[in-house]
Amino acid sequence: MAHTNQDSPESCASCGVHDCAFNAEAHLSVISTDRTAWLLDEYVPEFDLTRIHHIARQDLFLTIWHTSLLGKHGYDWRMPKGLDIKTHPLILLRRSLALRHLPPGGKLQAVLEQFDRRLADTYARQLPYTVTKLVIWQNLLPFLELNKALGGRSYRILAWRAPRHVLHRLLDQAQQRWPVSQTLNDFRSAPVITQAEERAFAHAEQILTPSTALARLYPDQAVILPWHHWPEVDVQWRTAERQVRGGISFLGPVIARRGAYLVREVMARLQLPFTVVGHQLEGADLFRGLDVRYVGFDTDWLDQTELLLAPALTDFRPRAIIQALSRGIPVIAGEWCGLPPHPLLHLIDVLDEAALEQTVRALWV
């Protein structure tokens, strides 16, 4: 740009040369184009980034970790090379240590939410004003709503479990049904967090989820993703393939929200032997007097199972159910397992012992 009068140089606003390298307005229009930030935590295969959304070169990725280094395979998002990625290994280390040294009776939910808030606040500080769209890991959602990071931005949610307001309603119903339980008050959040998450869900542009139950809750926003390793085999062939008749297994751990009281009542009435998979967390006497044995998840328990009871209030990662279905094993579960229809999957009201008893009789007795 040449100036006709060195004593009175023209300004960028008056010279009319808009493609000049010094034109601030032209450059602002370039860097202000829509940019998406991905706010992530641990990796879940249903949310494979390259499948759920087009990744642009200018996108920003905020994650706690993103490779399998140091044995942290649960954080390997398998991102394409050359992206703008910011990791936060110190928060991951502190969270891992806090969970590892959680004292007996310690509030797991409170510790998890403490670090979710810390991570969400850290991410919010790192969002440039050029970011107008967000893709958000569900655990971070209420805290991003509370710290105002969602304001003025459109966002989509990577959702894999029941929102808190739904979980609290289920826990309240279970507490009325089994008031003796000492564990149904666990995994509850403060009202301000619950309400923030509910507001954030309501205003999301899209909710990306494999959970059919969650999709029914938000039919206008939900985009259903396929479950990883969902069985698409010939059910009759796989069922016929099983030559050794096993027994009934209850998918634990033994705790009220996994359906322990419901299973106790029904199995006591039917007087059937069964196997519990997982630890006893509800109390050592819960299954006293029943014909029961305990095994760990690290055993071949699926090989010895012919019918799987999984009547949990919610099952946010139903991997064991999917494995059972893949092996031709019938499963009795609740709506909030989040799985789509399958010939071997029998959904019941997990607060209704008559429904469980009737289904067990139909499949076994």
Q: Could you read off the pLDDT tens digit of each residue along the chain, which spans 365 residues?
A: 444 444 444 444 445 544 443 343 333 333 446 799 999 988 888 988 766 667 888 899 998 887 655 555 577 777 777 788 888 888 888 888 888 887 655 577 888 899 999 999 999 999 999 999 999 999 999 999 999 999 999 999 999 999 999 999 999 999 999 999 988 887 789 999 999 999 999 999 999 999 999 999 999 999 999 999 898 755 554 444 444 567 999 999 999 999 999 999 999 999 999 999 998 888 778 999 999 999 999 999 999 999 999 999 998 889 999 999 999 999 999 999 999 999 999 999 999 999 999 999 999 86
What pLDDT sits at residue 42? 86
Contact 145, 200 (CB under 8 A): yes
Comma-separated ranges of CATH 3.40.50.2000 domains in the chain: 235-363
The residues, ordered by sequence, that sit 6+ positions from 87 with a Cβ below 8 Å of its Cβ are: 63, 64, 65, 66
Query: Torsions phi, psi of 154, nearest 5?
Result: -90, 150
As a CATH number, domain 235-363 is: 3.40.50.2000
The residues, ordered by sequence, that sit 6+ positions from 322 with a Cβ below 8 Å of its Cβ are: 227, 228, 229, 230, 231, 339
Q: Which helix (H) or strand (E) holds 347?
A: strand 345-348
Is the overall model pTM greater than 0.85, yes or no? Answer: no
Neighbours of 120 (CB within 10 A): 25
What pLDDT sits at residue 95? 85
What pLDDT sits at residue 193? 96
Rounded distance, CA 317 to CA 42, Å? Answer: 13
As a CATH number, domain 29-224 is: 3.40.50
Rounded distance, CA 32 to CA 17, Å? Answer: 20
Which of 135, 155, 159, 158 is CA-nearest to residue 213?
159
What pLDDT sits at residue 103? 63
What pLDDT sits at residue 20? 43
Rounded distance, CA 184 to CA 314, Å? Answer: 13
The residues, ordered by sequence, that sit 6+ positions from 9 with a Cβ below 8 Å of its Cβ are: 3
